[in-house]
Structure 1
Amino acid sequence: MRELTDRFKALGTALVSDVLDEAGFHSQTLDPSLGFIGPATAICGPAICVRGERSVATRTTSSNATLPLYNLPTLAQPGAVMMFATSGFRGGGVTGELLALDLQALGVVGLVTDGLVRDRDALSEIDMPVVSAGVIPANGARRFQITNWAGPITMPGPEGGIVHIAPGDFVLADSDGVLVIPATVADTVIELAEELSQKEAALKTIPQSQPAEIRAKARAERMSHMIWLRTKEMSK
């Protein structure tokens, strides 16, 4: 697992995104409105999928159906990236310094949320990158609850799209954005991506004096080894 995540990090989101597109996975990039709090440090790991929503005081649920936000670290897994979908909640930060420190101590390598966070300066200094939709001073714990921590989730993609994320899918993030690689095809995607990387390295050796038509043809042919991986069932 560690070897695979390191290989994905070495390639980067842009190149792996090209492979996913050619392989039939066209909606794997999270919306660019989600950005790093602090330096854009590359991360990669299997996804922990968590979903929550605004906590309504009059709502009745069994005690084991939800979790308070403060329990987020109980869902941590070493080496994983926590993917936290918030159902559009904007009433407060769903993570701050204390929760992030707990997650880091438990081995989580990164947190990605489509919600807001707080304690920007402190989060910027913690050795666990955080990607979010923005910051807010209000504490979300008083207004929010965790409703699911075992199944798949969705997060916003570009131009109003939706990205589906299942537990164990690989999450790759760097200065270009956040990408989700389905676990079912990760082994093949990494092989295709590494071959593409070699071809792109060779392209850089083509003399600039070569006619533009030749260079364009070589760029197009770098994808010749790609194969379609998305099955009919997966494309429904």
Structure 2
Amino acid sequence: MDQAKKLEIRERFLKLDTSNVADVLDELGYPNQGLAQDFAQQTEGGVLAGWAYTIQGQMTPYPLGGDKEKMTACAGLGEGDISVWAGNGEGICYFGELIAIGMKEKGCKGALADGGIRDTRWIDKQAFPVFARYRTPVQSISRWKVNAWQIPVFLRGACSTWVEVKPGDFILGDSDGAIVVPQAIVQTVLEKTEALTAQEVAIREDLSKGMTLAEALAQYGHV
């Protein structure tokens, strides 16, 4: 898929709800793509939508100083990507304001972290959406270190213990939560969700004109 097509798909997903995407994934036989409910929108950046660029790390004591692997990993981010952070870090942040600025400069459209972030009031000023499990003032330096990137990673799931995220999967996050669309079915999920969304628009219009809910359900079925 070329870059222009990827950006077009992203723009179309921005108009859709995670709830409808989840329903379509259920229909297609992918019931465990939703992320755990403690993944929350931590910054004011709008909808999280883009292609997964995965970064993995682990708790590793080391002397104070920078994490060169983290910088190298972030340097590979491109236009339309979402940085997806995974690993066994607990109580520490995976990144803060400066790395968020660097990611945005690369064209990255947000971040999804199975762990913590910090500097949220400053990241807010960047209009850079971040979904993470918690906020913390504690830095990763000397505690948590990146050890791989652009590999399959596993994040906590809503209906399963883990959800696998592969490089190139599509990430969508809104006020209801976050969900992962496998790359192989992105186009199918997009088209089916757009159709479901159009149906819901029609239902709302009919209800506003006086149709009862019972009549809407009889006409449109379960939605």
For the criterion TM > 0.5, the same-fold answer is: yes
Larger Rg: 1
Q: TM-score range by the shorter chain?
A: 0.7 to 0.9
Which AA in structure 1 matches 2:78? Q
Q: Kindly tell me: are residues 210 and 150 of structure 1, through their superposed partners in 2, closer, same or farther at Cα, counting changes over 3 Å? A: closer
Query: What CA deviation, in whole Å up to 9, does each residue of 1:40-90 have, x standing for no partner?
Result: 511211100111110145xxxxxxxx9544444223222100111122x11
Q: Which amino acid aligns with 1:47?
A: A
State the one-letter code of the partner of 1:10. K
Give the total of aligned pairs: 213
Q: Is the 8 A contact 1:27 1:161 kept in 2?
A: no
Which runs of 5 or more structure 2 residues have no equivalent in the other structure?
Answer: 1-5
Q: Alignment identity in percent?
A: 26
1:105-144 alignment, distance < 5 Å: 105-144=105-144
Q: Which residue of 2 aligns with 1:11?
A: 16
Maintained 8 Å contact 2:32/2:159: no
TM-score by length of 2: 0.86
- State how 1:43-54 maps to structure 2 within 5 Å: 43-54=48-59
Number of the residue aligned with 1:76: 77
Q: Which residue of structure 1 lines up, in the alignment, with residue 193 of structure 2? A: 193
C-alpha displacement of 1:214: 3.4
Instruction: Answer whether contact 2:61 2:142 (CA < 8 A) is retained.
Output: no
In structure 1, what is the equivalent of residue 217 of structure 2? 216
Partner of 2:7: 2
1:10 partner SS: coil
Cα distance in 2 for residues equivalent to 1:33 and 1:221: 28
Q: TM-score, normalised by structure 1?
A: 0.82
Partner of 1:39: 44
CA distance in 1 between partners of 2:16 and 2:157 (Å): 21
State the superposition RMSD in angstroms.
2.1
| Aligned 8 A contact 1:91 1:140 in 2 | no
Instruction: Answer yes or no: is 1:28 the counterpart of 2:33.
Output: yes
1:216 Cα offset (Å): 2.7
Deviation at 1:36, TM superposition (A): 1.6
Cα distance change on mapping 1:21 and 1:46 into 2, 3 Å: same
- Worse overlay, 118-127 or 204-213: 204-213
Distance in 1 (CA, whole Å) between partners of 2:59 and 2:43 is: 27
What are the ranges of 5 or more consecutive residues in structure 1 without an aligned counterpart? 58-65, 223-236
